[in-house]
Amino acid sequence: MTKTKLESVIEKIWLDLNSGEVPRDLEDFKQKYLVKSNRKKIPEEIQCQCLTSNNKRCIKKIYKEALENEHYVCFQHWKLYNKHKKYLYGTLYEKSIEN
């Protein structure tokens, strides 16, 4: 059985607690035990231009078929666009026009 990240962290804290090596400072504790993300940064030139439901930029790569039709969006936003014929939460370009 494989362990989840949370199970691994709990086990690491438990072992350090028993050996007396748990950091007293909160920042040291966070640095030692918080799980770091493995997500790679995508350059802005190839990042989806759509906004998400919380009004932030989508972090996925541009879908090739959408790019061929001059839409700079990811696969999910491309499928939604084809279904509804609009971007549900708007795009960065539309947001910049409003401001």
What's the confidence (pLDDT) of residue 3? 76
The residue extents of the domains of the chain are 1-38, 44-98
Torsion of the alpha carbons at 76, 80, 81 and 83, rounded to the nearest 10: 140
Averaged over successive runs of 10 residues, the pLDDT of the chain (99 residues) comes to 79 89 85 77 88 89 90 92 88 67
Residue 93 is which amino acid? Y
User: How many angstroms from the chain centroid is the CA of residue 7?
Assistant: 22
Bridge partners (DSSP) listed for residue 61: 47
What's the confidence (pLDDT) of residue 95? 63
* Gap between the Cα atoms of 28 and 32, Å rounded: 6
